[in-house]
Structure formats: C-alpha cells, structure tokens
Structure 1
Amino acid sequence: MALINPRALHHLRITVTDLARSRAFYEGVLGFTVVAESPGDPADPVVRNDPDQLYGGVLFQTEGLLFGLRPVADPDDRFVSERVGLDHLSFLVDSVGELSAVAERLEEAGIEHGEVKELNNFGLSILSFSDPDGIHLELTAAL
C-alpha cells in the first residue's frame, strides 16, 4: 500500500519573471479566467512570501485544475527543461482539427510553435509552444 493516495492533481503554480506579461499570455492565448489574485504588491517581499496573498500572484481556473502564477523569479532568469524539475505542461483540447486551427492562430499572433505531430504509439497528436518565460507548453488531442 502506498504511503499517500492522492485522488487528483489539485493545482499547479509556476514561477514567472513578469506577472503582467504572463497573465496577459495565459488569459489571451489560453483563455484562462482569473479566479483569485493577490491584493498585495507583487514587488513587496512580504507579499511574495505569503501564501495567503498568493505570493503576489494570480490563480486561474481551468477545467479540473487551478493554475497559478508566482512572480518571484529574477527578471533575467529563463526556464530550462533539461534541469531537474518541470519539463513541460500539456493541456487537453477536443480534436486534432483544433490543434491545426490553434497552430494557425498562433502563427497569426506571432507566437513560435512546432508542427502538429502525431504520436501514433500513444494515440495522441501534440502541438508545442512556449510561454513568455520559455516554459514549454503543449496542447494534446486524441487521434
């Protein structure tokens, strides 16, 4: 028997360098809705270390998961997927057709992205791109 038996992933928070820029990206590109935000100044060290103030960040509601931004990273820092920790985040969409449509919209918006790739061994197609801090994002659809 396992020591812990979690039922699901409840929330995920990523560290960002520029809260306003990242918030605009996740609202505008991924359509996430803010459900809570810090009442304090994200530049205040007390706020940035206080979970009751969301560390100066925001929380978005996605389907089945809270997704947060925490603005505590050095402005010159960048995400590196090859270091220990997070590799990428993947969000589910309804269809492969939606992946193709999103690729076109990303292109029109000037957001770099990969090609829609079929992973036949897994029954999935994916589309990869990155957020403003270089955090790798992926959209996934069943084949």
Structure 2
Amino acid sequence: MAITTTGFSHVRLTVRDIEASRRFYDAVFGWEVAFELPADADEETREQLWFLFGGVIYQVPGGLFGLRPVAPGDDTFSENRVGLDHVAFAVPTRAELDRAIEVLDTIGASREDVKDAGAMWILEFRDPDGIALELSAPK
C-alpha cells in the first residue's frame, strides 16, 4: 500500500552562513518569516524553538522553507552527489522570470539564461552556498 499524502509540507536547506543566506532569500523572495528565535528569547522559548538550530523558517505558498546554519565553513553543495538536486519554485508567467533576472542581477547572484524546457520555461540560479535553485513558469 502506498502512503497517501496531502501535499508538500516543508524543505529545509543546510547552509554555512545564516546572515548571508538570509540576505539572499529575503532579497530574492521576500517571504514572511514563520519561525525564528527572537534575540531576547528566554529559556522556555529557546526550548520551544529547538528545531530552528539557529536558523529561520519562512512561510511559502503551500508549505514552509527553512535554512539551518550547521554546515562547516568549507563545505560545498553539489547536485551530482546523493541528496538534493535542486529546489524549483513556480511563478505564474514568463514575464515573472524576466523580472526575476533583474532581481538576481541586482544582488549579483549566479544565474543562467531562461531556458525552454518543453512544457515550461525555467530560470536556474544559485544561493550563497551554491545550492541549485530554479524558477519555472508554464508555457
């Protein structure tokens, strides 16, 4: 028997530098923060938010997206190793991909040109840790 799912819940990426990652994800996506440890958190709050590991969890359409800053400073991402290949986010139109290029170029993010992937257009780019991200728009 297969497991019945009701949708996507969350993804959390392991990052090296939470400040650099926060600046990037805030500038690119501007998502609302769902969970983060307040700087003045008391011990009870710290215990309740133990699952953050010093990171942040954003509210995204359809679920949650988190950053967990526990990677060693010299670690690198590779989509060619076992694990994550990339994370893709849907956008409504090709025009939104063109707007995304402007955002990515403004912050100096590494990116490709928009590509025709058959049923959709895709824009591939990388976060500060080199994690492969993608935006896709239907044709």
The alignment's TM-score, normalised by the length of structure 2, stands at: 0.87
Residue 43 (structure 2) aligns with:
none
For 1:79 and 1:132, the matched residues in 2 are separated by 10
Residue 116 (structure 1) aligns with:
114
**5+ long unaligned stretches in structure 2:** 40-45
Residue 131 (structure 2) aligns with:
135
Residue 54 (structure 2) aligns with:
56
Task: Between the two structures, name the one with larger relative contact order (CA 8 Å, sep ≥ 6).
Answer: 2
Residue 84 (structure 1) aligns with:
82
The answer to whether the Cα contact below 8 Å between 2:28 and 2:103 also exists between their aligned partners in 1 is no
Q: CA deviation at 1:51?
A: 8.1
The answer to whether the Cα contact below 8 Å between 1:38 and 1:55 also exists between their aligned partners in 2 is no
For 2:55 and 2:102, the matched residues in 1 are separated by 31
TM superposition outliers: structure 1 runs of 4+ over 6 Å = none
Higher mean alpha-carbon deviation, 20-29 vs 104-113, is at 104-113
For 2:130 and 2:85, the matched residues in 1 are separated by 11
1:51-102: CA deviation from partner (whole Å, max 9, x where unpaired): 8421221110011110011111001111111000000000011101111121
Residue 6 (structure 1) aligns with:
5
Say what the alpha-carbon RMSD is for the aligned residues: 1.9
Q: CA deviation at 1:109?
A: 2.8
Residue 122 (structure 2) aligns with:
126
For 1:101 and 1:88, the matched residues in 2 are separated by 21
Matched, 1:100 2:98: yes
1:85-143: CA deviation from partner (whole Å, max 9, x where unpaired): 000000011101111121133223322210101112xx100000000000000000001
The answer to whether the Cα contact below 8 Å between 1:58 and 1:68 also exists between their aligned partners in 2 is yes
Which one of the candidate residues 67, 70, 83 is aligned to 2:68? Answer: 70
The alignment's TM-score, normalised by the length of structure 1, stands at: 0.85
Matched positions, count: 133
